[in-house]
Amino acid sequence: MAHPPSRKRDVRRALAFSVWLYGLFLHTYPATFRRAYSLRMMRVFRDSCRDALQRQGTVPLALFWWQTLSDLLLTACLERWAVLKEKVGAMTTYTHSQRFPLRLRVALAATLLAFVVSLIASLHLYLLEDASPLTQAAYIASPVLRVSYDGIYLSALAAGVAVCAIVGYALLQRAAFVVVSLIIVALLIAFGGFGGLLVRHPMTFLVLFVVFLTLTMISFLIGRVVAKHAGRRLGQRPAAILGACVSVGSALLVNVVALVLHTLILNLVSHELYMQGQIGGTHWNFSLIVMVIAFVTVIACGVSLASMFRFPSHQP
Amino acid sequence: MEEILVKQPVNDAEALLPLSPAAFYILLALTGGERHGYGIMQETALKSDGKVNLGPGTLYRSLKRLLMDGLIEESDERPVPELDDERRHYYRLTPLGLQVARAEAQRLAALVRMAQLQQLLPQPGTFSLEGGA
């Protein structure tokens, strides 16, 4: 059957436009599927569309498009669902088999335990000294006592930020999101931890803020260096978690050194005050026990983290 | 000691049943020889009296699945090379694909027999006034 030239032109235009539009719609499919089949699908679509146009003209094109689009949307959703299932499956295998070895889980548990113990030790010291009327006298008697006290407090806060980094790397896929979240968390912790000083003692706040940020940055950078080196053997995500554990460990190391120093000096001072009859007794025993437990858990954390570096290379 | 997991190739046709209607139509279309994607669509529409129109999405999703399962393979042969576009991809049945198509046909035939026994369908060779055969 012969068609007038204007109708042929309309059909050609409608066909070209339809093929172009279908090419755009193909972007709803996952990239892997598109790479493999988009050209073939476009060719099949062009043939079907041309036949439909030649048989029925441009008017019933809407019905043809309706059928094509419903097929496209349904199969694109199914294909994306299949890809998602594949990714989740791969992630589960990745999580439970080679990539999160037992040693990393032990190191993680030891790190969290050391953090909790150090936090309790720091809180114990805070409650002890905050409630005591002799604290100021003790600080005047020994400036190291004041510095080590601030060191304990600030390093515990820095360790808290690093613990948030562990959670961040475990939950978020993109490292950039973790870094942004950590900046927000660090500011919240700083202002929540000693923000009150901003009004009463702005200079003290500034000094503490700078020390806190320095501690947090140093521990974070140590963690990133470790993560970079371990990434080749463990994979990116477990290495990032290991790096965050090392960040916590390095902040806790500062914490425990300050804690040991502080406890020993505190006991000397309080012993002297006791001998002078200014206080009824010393808190020698409990402080020492807390200090020793904190010290032991940080050592355990360090050993478990060090054992990760003797871990054999990951075989993909 | 690391455990090595080896995926066993699927050789048992029964393990791949039941097929989706689209997959079965594609296998049926390919029993007549190599066909390209649009050829499969046309053959399917023809065999189903125009009742089944595979869209490009359904067609290539099913082809992908059938290729992965080893039921079909891509073919370099062209039935009529001089009339054909060389960019077209042709598909043909593999021996396993033929075996699976037969097994699916038998499964469906058994279902039809069951429906006949339950008088949902007329028995072969009988005439029903209520319509159908």
Interface test with B, best of A38, A43, A70 (most B CBs within 10 A): A43
Is A48 close to B38, i.e. CB distance below 8 A? yes
Residues 68-127 of B with CB under 8 A from A: 87-89
List, for residues B39-54, the tens digit of each pLDDT value: 999 999 988 888 888 9
pLDDT band at B70 (very low <50, low <70, confident <90, very high): very high
The chain B residue lying nearest A46, using CA atoms, is B38
pLDDT band at A9 (very low <50, low <70, confident <90, very high): confident
| Number of Cβ pairs < 8 A linking chain A and chain B | 52
The chain B residue lying nearest A37, using CA atoms, is B60
- In angstroms, the separation between the Cα of residue A229 and the nearest Cα of chain B is 24
| DSSP bridge pairs for A187 | none
Instruction: Give the SS3 label for residue B73.
Output: strand
Separation CA B56–CA A90 (nearest Å): 29
State the ipTM, two decimals. Answer: 0.80
List, for residues A57-82, the tens digit of each pLDDT value: 666 788 888 889 999 999 999 998 88
Residues 2-61 of B with CB under 8 A from A: 2, 37-38, 41, 53, 55-61
Kindly report the pTM of this predicted structure.
Answer: 0.50
C-alpha distance from residue A193 to each of A212, B13, B25 (Å): 10, 67, 69
Is A41 close to B41, i.e. CB distance below 8 A? no
- In angstroms, the separation between the Cα of residue B90 and the nearest Cα of chain A is 11
Report percent pLDDT > 90 for chain A.
Answer: 17
Task: List the single residue in A37, A67, A76 with the smallest CB-CB distance to B64.
Answer: A37
